[in-house]
């Protein structure tokens, strides 16, 4: 039996971003901020540990050392962290590490932190929630599905547009959440991906989860028209924009 070839869109812009002057990293966020590579006043640090299940101290130490090297430049340092820090769940090694990195950044006079939810874009970390779900649904692989679980999704390009506008408005908060106004049930994300792939998800339902909500009131107060970029169909649209099944 053969199935439609479902592909996540690819992008090759990352090939030399890791070495550019003012961007540290080569993932979704680094690529979204590629126009900042020659910025005279802002250093984008987008090279952190992105696997939320990571437990290896070597990976954490690698990020910490890279951050210390990046912090020595005479520019605003912008560090991307995670909204999961605000959740009521257990403090995993990953979250403890992110809290420590945030503390180090905010001790730098020019250091600022943006906390992000699940970022969706072309390519990216295969362990990202939406990438994981897409791959398993596309390939007919069984996976555990935690019911009663909400996640906030935002397009990497919207992260760039919002942060860029914050800079133009003179933003100076030390820690700020940037996310969409929608906290989406994971079952709904699965349904959107089923529509793209034309395949029914094969999952084991697990009766526990995290009804996480992300508070965006602080960023809304800084950008009065913030919600205008997020229509009611935002989550469905961003998934359809970044995943295809020919």
Of 1-5, 74-78, 80-84, 85-89, which has the strongest mean pLDDT? Answer: 80-84
The pLDDT of residue 20: 55
The pLDDT of residue 87: 78
The pLDDT of residue 232: 96
The model's pTM is 0.88
Q: What is the mean pLDDT of residues 145-159?
A: 94
Give the helix/strand (H/E) hosting 207. none
The pLDDT of residue 16: 38
**Residue 81 in contact with residue 98, Cβ under 8 Å?**
yes
The pLDDT of residue 26: 87
Mean pLDDT across the chain: 87
Least confidently predicted of 15-29, 96-110, 173-187: 15-29
Bridging pattern class, strands 203-206 and 76-82: unpaired
The pLDDT of residue 246: 65
Residue spans of beta strands (DSSP E) within the chain: 7-8, 23-24, 42-45, 76-82, 111-116, 118-120, 143-146, 150-155, 175-177, 183-185, 203-206, 243-244
Q: Which stretches within 169-212 are classed as H helix?
A: 186-197
User: How confident is the model over 109-130, as pLDDT tens digits?
Assistant: 889 999 999 999 987 788 889 9
């Amino acid at each position: 039996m053969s199935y439609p070839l479902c592909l996540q869109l690819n992008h090759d812009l990352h090939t030399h971003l890791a070495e550019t002057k003012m961007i540290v990293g080569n993932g979704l966020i680094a690529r979204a901020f590629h126009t900042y590579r020659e910025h005279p006043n802002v250093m984008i640090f987008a090279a952190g540990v992105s696997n939320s299940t990571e437990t290896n101290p070597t990976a954490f130490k690698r990020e910490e050392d890279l951050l210390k090297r990046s912090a020595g430049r005479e520019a605003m340092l912008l560090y991307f962290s995670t909204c999961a820090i605000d959740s009521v769940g257990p403090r995993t090694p990953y979250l403890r590490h992110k809290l420590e990195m945030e503390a180090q950044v905010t001790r730098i006079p020019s250091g600022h932190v943006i906390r992000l939810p699940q970022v969706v874009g072309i390519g990216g970390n295969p362990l990202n929630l939406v990438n994981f779900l897409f791959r398993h649904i596309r390939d007919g692989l069984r996976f555990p599905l935690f019911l009663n679980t909400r996640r906030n999704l935002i397009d990497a390009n919207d992260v760039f547009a919002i942060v860029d506008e914050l800079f133009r408005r003179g933003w100076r908060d030390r820690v700020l959440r940037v996310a969409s106004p929608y906290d989406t049930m994971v079952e709904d994300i699965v349904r959107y991906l089923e529509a793209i792939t034309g395949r029914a998800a094969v999952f084991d339902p697990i009766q526990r989860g995290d009804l996480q909500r992300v508070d965006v009131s602080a960023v809304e107060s800084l950008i009065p028209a913030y919600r205008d970029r997020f229509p009611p169909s935002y989550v469905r649209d961003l998934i359809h924009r970044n995943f295809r099944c020919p």
